[in-house]
Amino acid sequence: MVLLSPSSGALKSLLRICESHAVAHGLRYNARKSEFVMFRPNKPEHHRFTFASVQRYPTFPQFTLNGETLKRVDKFKYLGHWVTADQSDGTDMERERRALSVRCNMLARRFARCTEQVKITLFKAYCQSFYTCSLWVNFTQRTYSDLRVQYNNAYRVLMRLPRYCSASTMFAVSNIPSFAAIMRARCASIMRRLRGSRNSILGALSDRWDSPLLRRWVGLHAPEWSALN
């Protein structure tokens, strides 16, 4: 369960509502397993308080649940996706890169003697998930490149191909989507689902021209236009 609030006062009110609801239904929240994150502005020039001013404050508001003080953290995992205070997706992308490396090594070790078609089927099933990749909008080019290289190398290792063979050629020969193709498809999929949703909040995310998801979609499908804007 996640509570989102634009201010500390509003978050405290939400916590009191949770406590009252729990008491009314004979439940109790575990404060030791609960924590909070204060998100930092990702564009200081567009905010009243800059990142530097946030850093100058030595203390932060305290939040309590059932009389116990909640621990403040810089990141937390929600449904398998890492959410960070600086609103960067680098941590979650690194999580996926490490997971991809583990899955690739497992496949290469256990199915080394299988036929090429079996390996291709296994690769599609285990190495193309990229869990929550459609939500990645804020990351460095190096982090993105590391994940792309890991994906390419995973196929090379599984198929025992030369380390420096052409990635585009090997995927085209095997009729397997490249890393860029997968990212475009996943981003297009989430945009389609958002625009088709009846939820007003989700609809607002897709209709805003300054939406990070829309900017990401444009950058993947029209990189030339994205670079100019």
- Greatest Cα pair distance, the chain, in angstroms, is 64
Residue 177 structure tokens: 């989507």
Mean residue pLDDT across the chain: 86
Whole-model pTM: value is: 0.81
190 with 135: CB under 8 angstroms?
yes
CB-count exposure of residue 96 (10 Å: 0-12, 13-18, 19+): buried
Q: What pLDDT is stored for residue 209 in this prediction?
A: 80
Q: What is the enclosing helix (H) or strand (E) of 150? A: helix 141-159
Reported as a pLDDT band with limits 50, 70 and 90, residue 224 is low
Cα dist. 43→8, 87, 206 in Å? 20, 11, 20
Find the angle CA(54)-CA(60)-CA(61) to the nearest 5 degrees.
130
81-105 confidence digits (pLDDT tens)? 999 998 899 999 999 999 999 999 9
Reported as a pLDDT band with limits 50, 70 and 90, residue 56 is very low
126-141 confidence digits (pLDDT tens)? 999 999 999 999 999 9
Question: For the range 81-89, what are the long-range contacts, defined as Cβ-Cβ under 8 Å and sequence gap of 24 or more?
Answer: 81/131, 81/132, 81/135, 83/37, 84/37, 85/37, 85/38, 85/39, 85/40, 86/39, 86/40, 86/42, 87/39, 87/40, 87/42, 87/138, 88/42, 88/138, 88/139, 89/135, 89/136, 89/137, 89/138, 89/139
> In this model, does residue 229 exceed pLDDT 80?
no
**Tokens 């905010």 correspond to what residue?**
47
Q: What pLDDT is stored for residue 223 in this prediction?
A: 63
> In this model, does residue 4 exceed pLDDT 60?
yes
Domains of the chain: which residue ranges? 8-73, 88-176, 178-229
Q: Which amino acid is present at 143?
A: T
